[in-house]
């Protein structure tokens, strides 16, 4: 083998090596991952190297917020996943957070509804399909409704406490007896109205919530 042939052969091998390296970098970059750490979901992406991964950090600021590490609800059926396609990852991400948000509709702890809001606000930042947008609008309206009911319950308790305050005031040498009597009357009417919220509404709410996620049959 003469010198020229050797140089050509080495150059050819070098080009092949570089081409293979670029291909490996490209293939690794296509992979996306869901990974759990300290009770949070991290969306990862393959590095622009033949191996390794890093936290997914899109260019768009909205998407950066949407894919920030997010709390995994206790007792959720979560498992780490790997995706060879960005579109597939985004779809599963939407379905996962949507399911978690839906779970909080049935919580017995009103303060946890804020977690449902967090999931919804994240999903709003994604590039949604028409179907996803409609699902999101439906579930958000339900969460807002539930929060309104919780605020009504809080108001009911506060009104009861206020009435107790005014009644205690009436039992003392109060200088504002006329005002206190009027306040007691106003609060009494409000408490009576709010207290009439029938328990049957709870059953109706569950039925309405369930129907939101039940597909409607065409012509049915």
Annotated domain spans of the chain: 128-220
pTM for this model (two decimals): 0.62
- Region 128-141: what's the mean pLDDT? 83
Task: Decide if pLDDT at 76 tops 70.
Answer: yes
Burial of 191 (0-12, 13-18, 19+ CB in 10 A): middle
Alpha helix positions (H), 35-129? 61-66, 86-103, 113-124
Owner of token pair 């319950």: 153
- State the CATH architecture for 128-220: Orthogonal Bundle (1.10)
More confident position, 75 or 88: 88
Max avg pLDDT among 94-98, 131-135, 179-183: 94-98
Answer positive or negative: Cα dihedral of 95, 96, 100, 103.
positive
The predicted pLDDT at position 169 comes to: 80
| Residue of 58, 141, 54, 68 lying closest to 105 (CA atoms) | 141
CA–CA gap between residue 59 and residue 83 (Å, rounded):
20
pLDDT beyond 50 at 192: yes
Q: What is the pLDDT of residue 186?
A: 85
Q: Give the residue-averaged pLDDT of 2-17.
A: 53
How distant, in Å, are the alpha carbons of 166, 167, 191 from that of 171? 9, 7, 21
> Which whole number is the average pLDDT over 129-152?
80
> What is the average per-residue pLDDT within 112-130?
85
Q: What would the mean pLDDT of 203-208 be, rounded to a whole number?
A: 56
Region of poorest pLDDT, from 17-31, 94-108, 127-141, 154-168: 17-31
- Looking at residue 35, its pLDDT comes to 93
Distance CA 196, CA 181 (A): 23
- What six digits make up the tokens of 114? 């804020």
User: What pLDDT shows up at residue 17?
Assistant: 45
């Amino acid at each position: 083998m003469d010198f020229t042939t050797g140089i050509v052969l080495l150059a050819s091998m070098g080009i092949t090596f570089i081409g293979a390296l670029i291909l490996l970098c490209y293939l690794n970059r296509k992979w996306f991952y869901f990974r759990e750490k300290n009770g949070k979901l991290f969306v990862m992406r393959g590095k622009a190297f033949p191996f390794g991964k890093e936290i997914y950090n899109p260019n768009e600021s909205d998407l950066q917020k949407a894919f920030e590490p997010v709390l995994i609800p206790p007792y959720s059926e979560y498992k780490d996943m790997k995706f060879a396609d960005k579109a597939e990852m985004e779809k599963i991400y939407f379905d996962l957070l949507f399911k978690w948000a839906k779970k909080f509709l049935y919580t017995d702890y009103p303060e946890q509804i804020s977690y449902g809001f967090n999931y919804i606000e994240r999903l709003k930042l994604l590039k949604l399909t028409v179907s996803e947008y409609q699902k999101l609008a439906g579930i958000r309206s339900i969460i807002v409704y539930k929060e309104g009911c919780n605020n009504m319950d809080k108001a009911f308790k506060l009104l009861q406490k206020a009435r107790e305050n005014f009644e205690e005031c009436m039992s003392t040498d109060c200088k504002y007896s006329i005002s206190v009597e009027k306040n007691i009357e106003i609060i009494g009417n409000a408490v009576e109205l709010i207290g009439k919220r029938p328990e049957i509404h709870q059953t109706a709410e569950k039925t309405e919530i369930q129907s939101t996620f039940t597909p409607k049959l065409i012509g049915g």
